[in-house]
Copies of this chain bind each other. A is one copy, B any other.
Amino acid sequence: MDQELIKKIPHKTIQRLSQYRRALLLCFEQGKTHIFSHEIANIQHITAVQVRRDLMLIGYSGNLRKGYNIKDLIDLIGEIIDSPNGQKVAIFGMGNFGRAIAKYFTGRRSKLTIVAGFDVSPEKVGKQVAGVPCYSVEEAQQIILEEGIRIGIITVPGDQAVETARMMVEAGVKGILNFSPTPVEVPENVFLEEYDMVTSLEKVAFYVKEH
């Protein structure tokens, strides 16, 4: 697909494409070959129009009677959101959260690979933690450079997030996913995504409370 067009895809569509792919992979494993827009929509709790619109944006055409070819669509989404040679990811903070992420990705056939974990705790450093080699924070700069890691996940406690992010950027990380409760600052050329689970939980709590 044309690289110029890819840049014009909205953030939200990128997110949904990632979600579509997950659903499609599941269907593919179950032996399905084709799927309708409204089937995808039901899985993701959105409308069929939204799905068709997103697929239109990426220039994929389905079959009028059979719907979309699952395998083809998976491949096309991969062409758009994946890097051809894969991307290396590091986790900063191998506590419960960091390990959960590491475990989740190990063994998964994906273009994203967790190649390193960093932690301050001496009993983790030098060992494999959840299938990922764990290094001390002091080694981070070197490892990031050596491995060519461009993506980092922050799962350190909130009070260490800012310093961790600063160090990551200095070491050359270009994209940060911050799961700590503390927002961090990055230069303009670094992509930052922050997610705070407390906010999500408070949102649920709000819509559940008896007004």
Contact = CB atoms under 8 A, between A and B. Distances in A.
Interface in A68-101: 80-83, 87, 89, 95-97, 99-101
Interface string A167-211: 000000011110101110000000111111111111111111111
Contact of A81 (B7, B18, B44, B205): B205
Contacts of A89: 201, 205
A23 interface: yes
A81 B6 CA distance: 39
Nearest to A183: B43
Contacts of A101: 197
A159 B96 CA distance: 21
A120 interface: no
Given A22-B198, A197-B195, A203-B15, A208 B87 contact: yes
Interface residues of A, number: 63
Contacts of A196: 18-19, 22
A182 B29 CA distance: 14
19 contacts: A11-B203, A15-B199, A18-B196, A18-B198, A19-B183, A19-B196, A22-B198, A23-B183, A45-B183, A83-B209, A87-B205, A89-B201, A100-B100, A151-B201, A153-B201, A175-B205, A177-B201, A179-B197, A195-B197
Interface of A: 3, 6-7, 11, 14-15, 18-19, 22-23, 26, 43-45, 80-83, 87, 89, 95-97, 99-101, 103-104, 111-112, 130, 150-151, 153, 174-177, 179, 181-183, 191-211
